[in-house]
Amino acid sequence: MALDRFAARGSTRPGLESKNEIFESLLDRLFEPVTSAVGRIQIDTPARIALATRGNIRALCQRLPDNLPWAARPAGSSPPF
């Protein structure tokens, strides 16, 4: 009976009030490991900005295969930069 009332409200998970909250929660869980790999790029000389950008790209290329199986590189290969 309680489950029927819960389902009738349109909610699918206790503690989350809407489907948007569920979607946002899933996105947060998906992207947190990836976004945590990216560092802040400080305004600096063009060479240092480029170096920081390449560092972020390297970190993403290393982190993505761990979190997105379809982004995996063949064993022993390295990023093309």
Q: Dump pLDDT digits (tens) for 32-59.
A: 888 888 999 999 999 999 999 999 999 9
- Give the pLDDT confidence score for residue 52 in this predicted structure: 95
The answer to the question of residue 36 being in a domain is: no
- Give the pLDDT confidence score for residue 22 in this predicted structure: 87
Domain of residue 47, residue span: 2-31+43-69
Cβ-contact 56, 35 below 8 angstroms: no
Total number of domains constituting the chain:
1
The answer to the question of residue 80 being in a domain is: no
The answer to the question of residue 15 being in a domain is: yes
Three-state DSSP at 13 gives: coil
The answer to the question of residue 77 being in a domain is: no
b/e for 38-55, b at 16 or more Cβ within 10 A? eeeeeeeeeeeeeeeeee
